[in-house]
A and B are shown apart, each in its own frame.
Chain A
């Protein structure tokens, strides 16, 4: 799962949001590293909708324009949790405490070389 997709799903964890709300929330959650354009967002939303991870919750008209709200489905929750768990495990491989990491490293025994006189 790519970062924009992950943070789009994560943005909807607290409840339904509309397009701009998702963009802002994703930026906030990723500490500014994911700044989606509207094109990226709606591409991701279409795909997630097709996969049944996100659905349209409601629609309202603001300043003469349609504003749709999207929410996570149960499958979306499950996919997000699965991805988070995968990333946690992946991070754990790198972030092991130094003592454990050092003890698990196998070292080849070094043969003592006879010194030349």
Chain B
């Protein structure tokens, strides 16, 4: 085996095993036919590697329909609402146990939990159709809460409240944009999502105390678990990759806003947001790579 062939066989490892067994020799023979057989050509090497990644994404994702991206966005929004509900319910319980914490952003979080809970209930109830309803309800709740809070917090927090609540329009807007078309299944009623969303929420809730405590080891461990879980899931299903990207993008935006509001330096305060943003990009790249190959 020549050096070039050895290099190409390494790149061939990027392809799924069944594909390698079926086509590997043919692909290698085609490349070697066009070269001198000893020096590997970088263009071919990377071309092979990139095509292999695409094939993996394509095979792992199973059958792709035109609604895969929309289904992923819907799932992402659904999980975001679940996560916010779980996290903010935790805040609400803390607020009930220790009313002095209302001095901070506790009241804002309490109202946000109401918005999230409303969104989840409405999404669950109406996931078979009328997508304008959750949008309207979440928006109405947000506007009401903002009006109420703007009278009880200092003027410097007004912009933050409006921006945070504006951020809540995003899931609702995404719901509307990614609503299922006539022929697409309404997959949010699947029991898989009902199990997956609280499980992820629990995982997030478990990891959140470490973020607040800024314990680096726990922080990175929890992030690593989340990233690994989503990458594995996203690798197997384009919808999950898109959902992961949706969730992480949302939390990155929220983290960035909160960090900006307390005046921390970008790199210190946005560590989580930055990690999430990078992961969102990776999720989209993995998902769309498979999509492009199948297009």
Contacts and interface: CB of A to CB of B under 8 A. Distances in A.
A47 B31 contact: no
A37 B23 contact: no
B181 to A, nearest CB: 23
Contact of B34 (A23, A39, A43, A67): A23
B25 A66 contact: yes
Interface string A36-66: 0111111100110000000000000011011
A42 B27 contact: yes
B293 interface: yes
B31 A38 contact: yes
B43 A37 contact: yes
B47 A39 contact: yes
Nearest to B28: A65
Q: Which of A42, A62, A68 has most B Cβ within 10 Å?
A: A42
A38 B47 contact: yes
Contacts of A19: 26-27, 29-30, 33
B29 A37 contact: no
Contacts of A43: 51, 54-55, 293
A38 B49 CA distance: 10
Interface string B25-63: 111111101100000000110011111101100000000
Interface in B1-39: 23, 25-31, 33-34
Contacts of B23: 42
B61 to A, nearest CB: 14
B57 to A, nearest CB: 11
Interface of B: 23, 25-31, 33-34, 43-44, 47-52, 54-55, 293-294
Given A20-B29, A39-B47, 4 more contacts: A18-B30, A37-B31, A37-B51, A46-B55
Closest 8 CB pairs of A and B: A39-B51, A37-B47, A19-B30, A39-B47, A65-B29, A20-B33, A39-B48, A38-B31
